[in-house]
Amino acid sequence: MVIELKNLNKSFYTDEGELKVLQNVNLALEHGKILGVLGPSGSGKSTLLNILTNLIKPTSGTVEVNGKIGYMFQKDHLLEWRTIKDNIMIGLEIQKKITPQAVEKIDRLLKTYGLWEFRNRYPRELSGGMRQRVALIRTLATDPDILLLDEPFSALDYQTRLLVSDDIYKIIKQEGKDAILVSHDISEIISVCDTICVLSKRPATVKAKYEIELTIEGERTPLVSRNAPEFKYYFDLLWKELEMYAQ
């Protein structure tokens, strides 16, 4: 297991009292897989990721993470005053790990993913989809083993979103990373993930777990997945799961 969460609980304390956000959450990410966490908004998905990245501590339970974590956010958070390359370098800069090999690796990533010509441009000169790709490469530059994707496509328009999720899926697979994708978008999560955990409303707990098995000829990508015969079946299944909480 790359990541294993056991009996995880998290409460926040406000002036009104205790707010239970996570209750007995059990999750596991296997090597070579993409795990999806689907839940209604406000169900504590971000809290889960914040615990995994050690930004906050759980109230109780165990967190086992075997590997270095890279975090990709909803928005790209590129710094406007830095060039694309300097934006990508920021993680290494902070960790004081700028070596010739690291720079070489960044150059390779820039070339492979079509950003080489833009390396000296500024973020505002790039489209939303490209900016998101830069954000992913910024995360990859520090060489994480596991990627946490926090609704990374939700700030994009629908068409870009389909293309960027295809893009980013390929990058993750090509670089051989494991990933957790957090989202409330049912079709997106089916098209990208191998396993899906559905969270309940607050206090969140894992209500259901599905292995996604799609009949696909050739290589799997999110766009191809959407055309698989089982896609609609999973969509209906997850839709019903979420609907229960909407009531």
Classified as helix, coil or strand, 213 is coil
> Of 77, 108, 111, 232, which one interacts with another protein (CB under 8 A)?
77
Alpha carbon distance, N-terminus to C-terminus of the chain? 35
Q: Of the ranges 17-25, 98-106, 119-127, 227-235, which one interacts with another protein (CB under 8 A)?
A: 119-127
The nearest distance, CB 139 to another protein, in angstroms, is: 8
Question: Is the dihedral angle over the CA atoms 181, 186, 191, 196 positive or is it negative?
Answer: positive
Cβ-based nearer residue to another protein, 120 or 215: 120
Does position 116 interact with another protein (CB under 8 A)? The reply is no
Q: What is the DSSP letter of 75?
A: S
Q: Which one, of 114, 87, 89, lies nearest residue 102 by Cα?
A: 89
Tell me the per-residue interface mask from 86 to 115 with another protein, x by CB under 8 A, - otherwise: ----xx-xxx--------------------
* Residue 192 and residue 222 in contact, taking contact as beta carbons nearer than 8 Å: yes
Q: With binding defined as CB under 8 A, does residue 217 bind another protein?
A: no
Q: How far is the CB of 214 from another protein (least distance, A)?
A: 32
- Based on the shown chain and the rule CB under 8 A, indicate whether residue 13 belongs to the binding site for another protein: no
> Is 34:72 a contact under the CB 8 Å cutoff?
no
CA-closest candidate to residue 207, choices 25, 36, 4: 25
Least Å distance between CB 210 and another protein?
29
Dist CA 164 CA 157 (whole Å) = 10
Q: Applying CB under 8 A, which residues contact another protein? A: 53, 55, 70-71, 73-75, 77, 79-81, 90-91, 93-95, 121-122, 124-127, 142
